[in-house]
A and B are shown apart, each in its own frame.
Chain A
């Protein structure tokens, strides 16, 4: 039974069809890919560069580079993952330019005590966000995530915000799977710890 099912039943991802058309010079097909992923690329670039102008440049450069290199794209990874890898590299390049003289690397592992064992153990209310307005909330989340080391931040963003798998995140960043897992855990715990300052349930003083 399984042999029949495996014959020709594998679906081709719509992105691959668009990529194939774009390779043949169909710019409209590429436009669809741009419209589909420009917001994500912009978000990732902002998270890494922390700079609006750089993020705008990254969106342009990443898509342009992708277009120029479409022939190098091999269908064994998703187009989105491939595009994100280009965007991450472009973002890091911009970040390095701005911070000349300071090493910027996502490869180095940051040794930090923070996040290794949770300290702030106060529980949060059922809807902690309700205490804040929409823009105030966005400010809190921005400030909080900006405080993470770049190597942790990018893993959290790709894995938890943009929904890449552990394997895809590792492939995109050129990291091993254990390195991605270790950074993700510490990123999640550090963010949790920092958000606790805003969301801790003040009525419940009994919790140690």
Chain B
């Protein structure tokens, strides 16, 4: 397996959607390729970091204001 072939399966590997056979092939490639080991671990970490940190917070005050405005308009519908 080449690095390009590994990369084509990267998302399915991360999302745990590869077959048992494919997983074995991917793992075999990983044994001999530090490049792909790093790509896999840092891509996983990228997703994890974006999931963990809320980068656009809706402050409570604004949230209350928006909710009131939405419901006031709905009542007029």
Contacts and interface: CB of A to CB of B under 8 A. Distances in A.
Interface in A89-146: 117-118, 121-124, 128-129, 137-138, 141-142, 145
B11 A181 contact: yes
A189 B43 contact: yes
B42 A27 contact: no
Interface centre among B4, B41, B45, B77 (most CB of A within 10 A): B45
10 contacts: A27-B71, A121-B39, A123-B38, A141-B49, A160-B51, A185-B10, A188-B10, A188-B14, A189-B43, A195-B42
A189 to B, nearest CB: 7
Interface in B10-46: 10-11, 14, 34-35, 38-39, 41-43, 45-46
Q: How extensive is the interface on chain B, given as a class?
A: 35 or more
Contact of A64 (B42, B54, B73): B73
Contacts of B50: 141, 145, 156, 160-161, 191
Contacts of B39: 118, 121, 189, 192
A160 B55 CA distance: 14
Interface of A is mostly: helix
Contact of A43 (B7, B35, B54, B69): B54
Interface of B is mostly: helix
A207 B38 contact: yes
Given A67-B74, A185-B11, A195-B46, A46 B56 contact: yes
B1 interface: no
Contacts of B35: 118, 121, 208
A132 B6 CA distance: 32
A158 to B, nearest CB: 12
A152 interface: no
The 5 closest A-B pairs by CB, nearest first: A46-B56, A42-B58, A192-B46, A63-B70, A43-B56
